[in-house]
Amino acid sequence: MNWDTFGTSSLAVLTEFMSIEDLVNASLEDLVVFLVDKSNNRFSNPEATAKLLQNAARDSYRLDKALYDPLNATIAASLNCIKTLEKEVKCLDKAIEKAVKRLDNNQFQCLVSIPGIGPILQLV
């Protein structure tokens, strides 16, 4: 899954912290461990990232607690839609790639050997 905007760590924060207060009240050490784990240690400075995340949570607008469950359900539903659509895109990409390979495999291989050119872009 290509989660540029919604990286694995971002998704984990959205889905595993049930409220802003949970995020704000998490110990810095626990949050660093969480980020290292969820990002597969991809943050160059996970402690600074954890502090930034907690500061953003502290400065954010607080919703009424009665809205947490519906908001979390809405976020989960939206993320499920994104995941489903990305699976469909992968299926379509494979179908397009198969079709293009049948047309002229030599030209296909030449085009996809160029960095940044994939089967979809080469059709444009």
| Two tokens, residue 24 | 């704000």
Per-residue DSSP letters for 5-62?
A: SS-HHHHHHHHH--SHHHHHHS-HHHHHHHHHHHTTS--S-HHHHHHHHHHHHHHSPP
**Alpha-carbon span 112 to 123, nearest angstrom:** 11
What are the average pLDDT values for consecutive 10-residue runs of the chain, which has 124 residues?
Answer: 62 86 94 93 93 92 83 87 92 83 75 73 63
Q: Give me the pLDDT at residue 18, please.
A: 80
Report the b/e string of 40-57 with b at 16+ CB within 10 A.
eeebeebeebbeebbeeb
Predicted model pTM = 0.60
